[in-house]
Amino acid sequence: MITISVCMIVKNEEPVLERCLNSLRGLAEEIIIVDTGSTDATKEIASRFTDKIFDFKWIHDFSAARNYSFSKATQDYIYVADADEVIDDVNRQRFLLLKQNLLPEIEIVQMIYANQLQFNTTYNFNEEYRPKLYKRLREFRWVDPIHESVLLQPVIYDSDIIVTHLPLSNHAGRDFMTFQRVIEKEGKLSKKLFEMYAKELFISGKEADFLDAFLYYKTFSEQENFDDRERKISECVLSKCYRIQKDIAGLMKCALKNLADQKASSEVCYELGEYFFESEDYKEATIWYYNAAYETECELSIRYSGDLPLRKLSKCYKYLGNKEEEEAYQTLANDWYDKNMG
């Protein structure tokens, strides 16, 4: 049977930490808590479950804190937990069975991360597989009987264990500050963070958050060394920013480039709908909301090709005096939300 180190980084997790650690009790041989500057009872609560509590000065870098927590692990595998997660009794049993039967060649175990849509800021689905359990020391092996090579891809197993995400609040404000801090420090974002920033804006950002991001995405779009994915992401962000700023020339310039593509973006069509809706041209707005819902694909948030344009179509038909269409689109919006976000 394998042994497990739980590794957590925490800060001011008093409301949720005990709930999390209780759900992990008996699943691991050691629990490692790395505190990044708590001012509440976080460390006191942690001390009821482990004596392996370490301080780490917060440097606005989650990876650095995670790496430090990993450096303290001593067991075969490392389970990465966040304080706002819970494993219920059914999945605790699944976890114990996995622990007893895990094949030694498996290096990463993915678990189903659930309940994301209630508070999460970067994901479009309520459940998805995430890597949660990692082999602490990797053994490199040669493969193939001829033209042999070292196996570089990790061996991954998708388990049936469900980890439930139960945060008490949304972390978007903290995340937006971190994105801006990275831009100020590095001058740019990695490809991954470039997309994650945009996703977070469309899923949970307010108008002020978009405007804070405007200069970065505008400057990026004026360069020439970017791929089609980055271009479309920029067009989505900038279309909303131009519309918020009532810069119609900027909106049209940005939107037309996106629409010239064979696969236009739902987010851009939705912003055109918003422009005409705000101009009280409801008939024209219906064209673009319809395109967002039915003729294009979302880039960053599934709601921009789902319930959001459907609800706006309902409002447009309300103002146009078409009660039948108003009610039909309202029903479609509710059905879509229940199916995809419930």
Please give the domain boundaries of the chain with CATH numbers for all domains.
Answer: 4-165 (3.90.550.10), 172-341 (1.25.40.10)
If one counts every other C-beta atom within 10 angstroms of the C-beta of residue 283, the result is: 11
Residue 162 exposed, middle or buried by CB count within 10 Å (0-12, 13-18, 19+):
middle
- SS3 of the chain: helix, strand, coil, percent, to 5: 50, 15, 35
For residue 261, the model assigns a pLDDT of 82
Residue 103 exposed, middle or buried by CB count within 10 Å (0-12, 13-18, 19+):
exposed
CA separation for the pair 183, 181 (Å, rounded): 5
CA separation for the pair 93, 50 (Å, rounded): 22
Containing H/E element for 78? strand 77-80
If one counts every other C-beta atom within 10 angstroms of the C-beta of residue 324, the result is: 8
176: left (phi over 0), alpha (psi -120 to 50) or beta: alpha
The two three-digit tokens of residue 75, written as one number: 């067991």
For residue 128, the model assigns a pLDDT of 85
What's the pLDDT tens digit per position in 237-280?
999 999 999 999 999 999 999 999 888 999 999 999 999 999 99
Mutual orientation of helices 266-278 and 248-259 as an angle, nearest 10°? 150
Contact 11, 84 (CB under 8 A): no
If one counts every other C-beta atom within 10 angstroms of the C-beta of residue 38, the result is: 19
Q: What's the pTM value of the predicted model, to 2 decimals?
A: 0.78
For residue 148, the model assigns a pLDDT of 83
Spans of the chain, pLDDT less than 70: 116-125, 169-172, 342
For 49-75, give one letter per residue: b (16+ CB within 10 A) or e. Answer: beebbeebeeeeeeeebbebbbebbeb
What's the pLDDT tens digit per position in 282-339?
999 999 999 999 999 999 999 999 999 999 999 999 999 999 999 999 999 999 998 8
**Which residues does residue 55 pair with via DSSP β-bridges, in sequence order?**
35
